[in-house]
Structure 1
Amino acid sequence: MDAWAAAIVADDPARIATFADPSWVLVTPESGAVPLTSFQEAVASGDLSHDTMAFTVLDARLHGDVVTVRAHGTNSGTFRGQPFQADEWVTEVFVRHEDRWLCTVSALTPRSNGSGQPVSPELSTEGPDQGLTPHLCVSDTREAIEWYATALGARLTHEPIIMPDGRIGHAEITFNLNSIVMLSDAFPELNVDAPAPGRGTAVTLHLHVTDVDAATAAAAAAGAVIDRGPETTDSGRITVLRDPFGHGWMLHARPSPV
């Protein structure tokens, strides 16, 4: 990662190409998928330059000849004459080429507090580096992304990482302001497998909602199994349910202040 960052800060298109697979794309919310040739052209023309770039690696997973890396990244520079500073969640995919690892996907998601203002790393209390982020294995990640969006209001953070065999190796969805849940398809060969729907679950995800009854109705309409609720408890209004992929959820709304 450090060598990859150094190549970008050098503003040298040829050097950048030595660390990138020819199929490399940069995926951002603002620009969508930017191919390597377009990125190199922007650097060569002077439209894009970087002064600094640094990564803090949060997680790395090996899948045969593919490595997925999650990181917190910061960088600064200029774009078309305007200075910029970026504070982002980064997902990189590297593919083995003989004795080298080449980057094939770089997906960036700006860190923000919901109002468009960047969150400083020291003050962040949510996101992948908060210390514990759920990573759910599901039978069909594509279907799960749609279900969580329809039933529980999730948003896709960025385009999923698709492995050479077509399975999704990594996806991120966001609930509420910045509560991230990671998803992947099953990889039994790596001891990563989805739970069997219909069975009980040892883990329950606690999701705060503004209207438990409405959220319960939406989840039930989408196929969730309601195990309990909606009901009022000392801690507020709750529902306990299981999604079609075998994962348990508690929907919770705190009691109104008296």
Structure 2
Amino acid sequence: MAIHELFPYLRVHDAAAAIAFYCALFGVKEKFRLTEPSGRIGHAEIDFGHGATLMLSDAYPEYGMDSAQAIGASPVAMHLHVDNADALIDRAIAAGATLVMAPQDHFYGERSGSFDDPFGHRWSIGHNIEDVTPEEMQRRYTAMMAT
């Protein structure tokens, strides 16, 4: 059996607003959506380019599929590599996201920070600042944990 793709799938409160937020913030395009007569979005896909697709829908609590807002948090974070993490995080905050961690340089060779979007999902945004081998990362991580 071959694996061809992995799609993150978010359940959100107000999928239409989430689609608009993500498309505007990340400069990505909606591929399509399936909408019930009531207006609830059963499935939508957003094209992030380079073969990356984010799937999302409104929550379906009657089937045990709640949104992050409904349960108060999400144990999952999305990590997105961009050209300039600082600029995108600034845009996210201006668009209504909540800053979790300001961008900073990290031992693993990335500058990154994070925010929670208005729909309860955490996004880590980073860009590469240094190529670091796994061995060097482990050495730096061990040294950091020792302090």
C-alpha distance after superposition, 1:198-237 (max 9, x if no partner): 9443111111111011101110100111111211112211
CA RMSD, Structure 1 to Structure 2 (Å):
2.1
Greater radius of gyration (CA): 1
Offset of residue 240 of structure 1: 1.2
Return the match for 1:186 from 59, 71, 85.
Answer: 59
Q: Which residue of 1 aligns with 2:112?
A: 238
Q: Which runs of 4+ in 1 moved over 6 A?
A: none
Taking the aligned partners of 1:205 and 1:167, their CA distance within structure 2 comes to 24
* Runs (5+) with no aligned partner, structure 1: 1-121
Match of 2:23 among 124, 132, 149: 149
Identify the range of structure 1 (226-235 vs 203-212) with the bigger mean alpha-carbon deviation.
Answer: 226-235
1:33-67 residue CA offsets vs partner (Å, 9 max, x unmatched): xxxxxxxxxxxxxxxxxxxxxxxxxxxxxxxxxxx
Question: Would the aligned equivalents of 1:197 and 1:244 in 2 still touch at CA under 8 Å?
Answer: no
Q: Secondary structure in 2 aligned to 1:142?
A: helix
Query: Counterpart in 1 of 2:121?
Result: 247
Structure 2 unpaired stretches of 5+: 132-147
- Normalized per residue, which structure has more strand? 1
1:97-150 CA distances to partner (integer Å, 9 max, x unpaired)?
Answer: xxxxxxxxxxxxxxxxxxxxxxxxx9xx8xxx41x3111011111111110012
Higher helix share: 2
* Contact 2:82–2:127 (Cα < 8 Å) also in 1: yes
Q: TM-score, normalised by structure 2?
A: 0.79
Is 2:99 the partner of 1:226?
yes
Identity %: 36
Change (3 A) 1:209 1:223: same
Write out aligned runs for 1:1-258 (5 A): 129-130=4-5, 132-158=6-32, 160-196=33-69, 199-234=72-107, 235-256=109-130
